[in-house]
Structure 1
């Protein structure tokens, strides 16, 4: 059975029952059809007196282009918790339709550890992404209109940093010229499009704790600078209010369920290689009061989404994690040995499937570094060995030995095939880890200069020898420091296929330097955004994207959605 077949065969519980398992009463739900609902923001106050759940973040080793089952493990862990007598809530990001119709596919989990209804989750859901797109582009329109009507704010057109966004992979929109045509069509200038998941509005949406805070953060967005390098904000040009109106309903988290009826909060969707890569703070503030465990997921490896979870999201939410899961697979560690390459859309190399514990051991440097990256923040790690049918026990034993050498708990997971029953050992290990005393710490203080924050992440998390700044990036950082943005944390956009900035470097590479080619100030979101190497904020489609296969049949059913 395909994931879609399994999802359609699920026996879903009434959503009021799913909400009740979190202590959320029916009056706090706004139904979107039969199996999706938004949770009213008044739930934050109604649940405030309840005890906090243990807070667990799920991360991973550096993945292959196919992914290593992090969402599947997150969902399976949530289901497994129930089978060991714990009440759990899962919190994940909403999938972007760019990857869904591109190479990566959807992000609902897989096999018997999925969030359902699967089609709804992967296609539009309740329209939150469209609200982000509309709010972002509303500001773009107001900005160009401001220029057209005299530019009272004195914006230097060459300093404009605010682009447009679209939730589609479309490489030809990376660089565009707007305003062509007659005089009434606006002022021509060069700009471009990013994907919606990389929008600063998406980051604000994910980090705001209330509607008033959302409104205030939108007003702080910097769209450009005057000729003497003073920032001009969305508030300055009259755009923030309309944006907040567009985002008002989207700020309510979406409630769904797993195949085994565990509650799932799906909210926001910033990319883990471009943006900060975590679901919303508001969803976590609700979910943390909904049972024994709140299990959330951070994008890509522990050097990426988990680092930003710790240093950006936890700063915004005030929540402190009790444990972290590092998902590891045999195939990814074999790739990190340097002996294999995985190309999306092509069959796995036959040699990759042969029993070879020595190759797993050779790639183990990546797992060791990612465990270390969790420990840098004072959090107890648990290694989840996500088992594939082609794996061999001897290869799992190597991963277990590495975990033990690093002082981490571990468990083999078969939740793709077995659902929650395949994740009970992981659930037990996570429950134990969450009971150990924590000494959570940020990697750097707010008061550190921006370059020091960047260097700290580059050296301590990525293993770089240092950082090289392109001249434009160096000038941008100087402007940000002069304008008082130096106290913000940093979000480093780089490849997700290596701990380094070079996707071809495997394992835990050393002897390299991090190249920062651009710096953007996401002041509303509350971080400085560094773009490193050949990193694109608008992905392209591959030669054979999923969009070629996804269709409807004669009965109107969706086919080939994965």
Structure 2
């Protein structure tokens, strides 16, 4: 039996083309690409500005069922579908998020696809890449430093140190930093106060970068960040302590979309990386909009299951960026559906059609939910070698009964060739122009009702609950002029409910709201539900234990 190569081995064997050559495929002049070595480049703002009058291509969103430890392969399917569309002669661009170092060294691994459906250079993309995350981390923490420095030198603005809401960030899972006390050590170090760290992908700076439309818009949004309050409850903004200009300087290169390629030498923008369980889960609007001007089809993804990623893509990104999605592809696997059907991880290799059928309730819920946004749907069955024909047929039959088509996809093993059938169907759906996209709630709806709408319509909860202090905070945000903002739900990705162990398609549950945060620069309200953490921790056996350099000086253990 042949040994199956690891993702990193496959990526290392890739025959990459010079990135300037990939740019030529899209009609990007050499002078408008800023190379980072031979295989990565950033796209200039001047070139992006010049695309405004070009016609948009078709926008295809790839989302998924609720994830399980068995894996769904959403990014892998996004890459495979992009390669498949190019393979059937459709000029296609892929738009993905950048991976975070936290999952790379934690439990989940990287986010550059897998098998023969990857973006490359895989090691660079999963690690430091072009330095965007470092720039975001630095800009965020510059604001943190300027806040404490302002207090140290007399606190002219009258900031109440008990009401500073701006935390610090780092791009690593470190539970020890969730809650800290800073400025200890005496008078020379400032005034002690409680603070804490989030992971960089949960930073409002990350969200702002991914929603900004220009360098001017970026600086405007940064200036609007609410960093805390005075004793009289009045707000203090980032622009009040004169931080916006310097932060924008740190972010000026990070704002530029990153161009890379797939294993099949097709173009991909990889830019921005907010998590979908604690942030809005989509790559940058600037990259997606540029892709729509440069290609006839753009395939993008939104993190985790459709209850998080797709909902935020539709209700936040599309609303803010003026996007009109044409097709949604929902990714499912036999293995994950078995787990939703009650099978343990150790028994997933055994055929169990009944468990698949039971787990299909989760896929069915996502299909029903996406239909509420008016976007046509296809289902990609991401194939594993242990899947049986009977199990795959159970899924495709179920899809057909629900008015959508399901396709067995073998892109992990076969690259773009393995998604040709799906690609033809998706292109036909997009070209038909039948999308009647609309967000699930109106801007004018009260904030509390927006949250309730998401909970009832998408999570199928009976209600939402929160302490009086949280309900009062919603009212305060409306009184301050933030009532038209969309909602960004921070919730477990593993279930429609806030209980990660509640698989399938649960009903009759309640969504508890623990905290609500204002992201005035990103222009949305973050609603933190259940036990979700904005700074993850490492697992008992983190991936970092097996990552290192081999005898040849090459990276081993990264996946």
TM-score calculated relative to the size of structure 1: 0.97
Report Cα offsets for 1:193-218 as digits up to 9, x if no partner. Answer: 00000000000000001100000000
Which ranges of structure 1 fall in alignment gaps of 5 or more residues?
Answer: 341-347
Q: Is the 8 A contact 1:476 1:519 kept in 2?
A: yes
Q: Is the 8 A contact 1:89 1:291 kept in 2?
A: yes
Residue among 411, 414, 419 paired with 1:415: 411
Question: 2:169 matched to 1:165?
Answer: yes
Question: 2:295 matched to 1:298?
Answer: no
Question: 2:374 matched to 1:370?
Answer: no
**Which position in structure 1 is the counterpart of 2:524?**
527
Q: Is the 8 A contact 2:381 2:408 kept in 1?
A: yes
Question: 2:304 matched to 1:307?
Answer: no
Residue among 9, 30, 39 paired with 2:43: 39
Question: 2:71 matched to 1:67?
Answer: yes
Q: Is the 8 A contact 1:66 1:104 kept in 2?
A: no
Residue among 489, 503, 508 paired with 1:506: 503
Report Cα offsets for 1:509-559 as digits up to 9, x if no partner. Answer: 001110000000001001000100001000111111110011012322111
Residue among 336, 340, 365 paired with 2:340: 336
C-alpha distance in 1, partners of 2:71/2:97?
A: 15
1:472-551 to 2 correspondence within 5 Å?
Answer: 472-551=469-548
Q: Is the 8 A contact 2:107 2:538 kept in 1?
A: yes
SS where residue 529 of structure 1 aligns?
strand
Residue among 265, 282, 298 paired with 2:286: 282
C-alpha distance in 2, partners of 1:148/1:313?
A: 38
- Give the C-alpha shift of residue 424 in structure 1: 0.6
Q: Is the 8 A contact 1:113 1:415 kept in 2?
A: yes
Aligned residues: 554
- Give the C-alpha shift of residue 409 in structure 1: 2.1
C-alpha distance in 1, partners of 2:204/2:467?
A: 23
TM-score calculated relative to the size of structure 2: 0.98
Q: Is the 8 A contact 2:70 2:335 kept in 1?
A: no
Residue among 145, 149, 162 paired with 2:149: 145
- Give the C-alpha shift of residue 472 in structure 1: 3.3
Question: 2:179 matched to 1:175?
Answer: yes
**Which position in structure 2 is the counterpart of 1:379?**
375
SS where residue 307 of structure 2 aligns?
helix
C-alpha distance in 1, partners of 2:225/2:69?
A: 33
Q: Is the 8 A contact 1:37 1:255 kept in 2?
A: yes
SS where residue 239 of structure 2 aligns?
coil
After alignment, is 81-90 or 148-157 more displaced?
A: 148-157
- Give the C-alpha shift of residue 339 in structure 1: 3.5
Q: Is the 8 A contact 2:222 2:244 kept in 1?
A: yes
- Give the C-alpha shift of residue 45 in structure 1: 2.6
Residue among 50, 57, 74 paired with 2:54: 50
Report Cα offsets for 1:110-148 as digits up to 9, x if no partner. Answer: 000000000000011000000000000000011111112
1:419-498 to 2 correspondence within 5 Å?
Answer: 419-436=415-432, 437-498=434-495
Report Cα offsets for 1:221-277 as digits up to 9, x if no partner. Answer: 011112232221101111111111110111001000000011010000000110000
Residue among 344, 348, 351 paired with 1:352: 348
- Give the C-alpha shift of residue 107 in structure 1: 0.5
Q: Is the 8 A contact 1:43 1:286 kept in 2?
A: no
Residue among 399, 405, 418 paired with 2:395: 399
**Which position in structure 2 is the counterpart of 1:210?**
214
CA RMSD of aligned residues (A): 1.0
SS where residue 98 of structure 2 aligns?
coil
C-alpha distance in 2, partners of 1:18/1:235?
A: 40
- Give the C-alpha shift of residue 66 in structure 1: 4.7
C-alpha distance in 2, partners of 1:486/1:47?
A: 33
Report Cα offsets for 1:469-504 as digits up to 9, x if no partner. Answer: 133322322221221111100000000000111101
Residue among 323, 326, 330 paired with 2:327: 323
C-alpha distance in 1, partners of 2:264/2:469?
A: 51
Q: Is the 8 A contact 1:198 1:537 kept in 2?
A: yes
C-alpha distance in 2, partners of 1:554/1:82?
A: 38
**Which position in structure 2 is the counterpart of 1:345?**
none
**Which position in structure 2 is the counterpart of 1:200?**
204
**Which position in structure 2 is the counterpart of 1:154?**
158
C-alpha distance in 2, partners of 1:278/1:206?
A: 8
C-alpha distance in 2, partners of 1:552/1:213?
A: 42
Which ranges of structure 2 fall in alignment gaps of 5 or more residues?
Answer: none
